[in-house]
Amino acid sequence: MAKIISGTEIGRAMRAEIAVEAAAFERESGVTPGLAVVLVGEDPASQVYVTMKGKACREIGFHSREIVLPADTVEDELLGVIDGLNADPEIHGMLVQLPLPRHIDSQKVIMRIDPMKDVDGFHPVNVGRLAAGDRDVLAPATPSGIIQMLLRSGYDPKGKRVVVVGRSNIVGKPVALLLLRDAPGGNATVTVAHSRTPDLGSVTRQAEILIAAAGKPQLITREMVSPGVVVIDVGTNRVEDPTRERGFRLVGDVDFAGVKEVAAAISPVPGGVGPMTITMLLANTLQAARQIDAAAAGASS
């Protein structure tokens, strides 16, 4: 029976560490890390995330700013808000909650964020630095959380055959780049599969570590993995469930019940990668605050 890799527990432990590190940094530098989250419109799921991010910040003593703009906000106005946050010395990290309303060009918005404050790691400068193997880059939160889950549960990807299912810019590609990087949590031999990969099972069976990020409920079955595999299930899929009050439940991309019989370890959904994402945003905000402070000190010396 597989060991359970709990993102809830790892995330909790990491937040306690980040709080201690942030307090030490504040004593040295006088700087309190600050995160701003910008939401355009009233999408209920996005509102929940924004509230959760604000709460997580306050719990560990960061400044938090939540900016909610009406759905009909014009692009220039949003860009003006970003310019204000770029210039704000209390804010070290910012993110704009995606998806944005259709009349706003997301890429233009992402491009406007100061790369040093881009805690989502979506700005092309940070995407490029990650692809180039830079160890100091602000890397996207969900992929960084996956790496921490592996490292902190004793499954260092170094030298392992890792298969990533999914090639999105948010999860699949950046996690593959982190796994390839010559840095802690990297140095793996990485294969990336996607919807055009024939005979997916023949690829996933080669994995010593399998990362499923396809957004397809229970795509990965017991027959598709080799005994002893370590599985991180990123998938967060709603499936109808009339027995639940809200009418649905969340399932991953992996058939948890079947795969846990043969895997060495597996992360659950919910309680796996989900709780790690906000934790890594906090880690990135602290990293951004340190880097901005160091750059300011360098500029004034």
53 is catalytic: yes
Should residue 214 be labelled a site residue for ligand NDP when binding is judged by CB under 6 A? yes
Residues in contact with ligand NDP, counted by CB under 6 A, come to a total of 26
Residue 143 lies near ligand NDP (rule: CB under 6 A)? no
Q: Does residue 210 belong to the site contacting ligand NDP (CB under 6 A)?
A: no
Contact 265, 4 (CB under 8 A): yes
- Taking CB under 6 A as the criterion, the residue among 46, 142, 279, 284 binding ligand NDP is 142
Active site residue 3: no
Told to check if 135 binds ligand NDP by CB under 6 A, we report no
Choosing from 114, 117, 118, 120, the catalytic residue is: 120
Nearest residue (CB) to ligand NDP, 73 versus 144? 144
- Does position 195 interact with ligand NDP (CB under 6 A)? The reply is yes
Interaction between residue 179 and ligand NDP (CB under 6 A): no
- Told to judge if 120 belongs to the known catalytic residues of this protein, a careful annotator would answer yes
Active site residues: 53, 97, 120
**Where on the chain is the footprint of ligand NDP (CB under 6 A)?**
142, 165-168, 170-172, 193-197, 200, 213-216, 219, 234-237, 273-274, 277
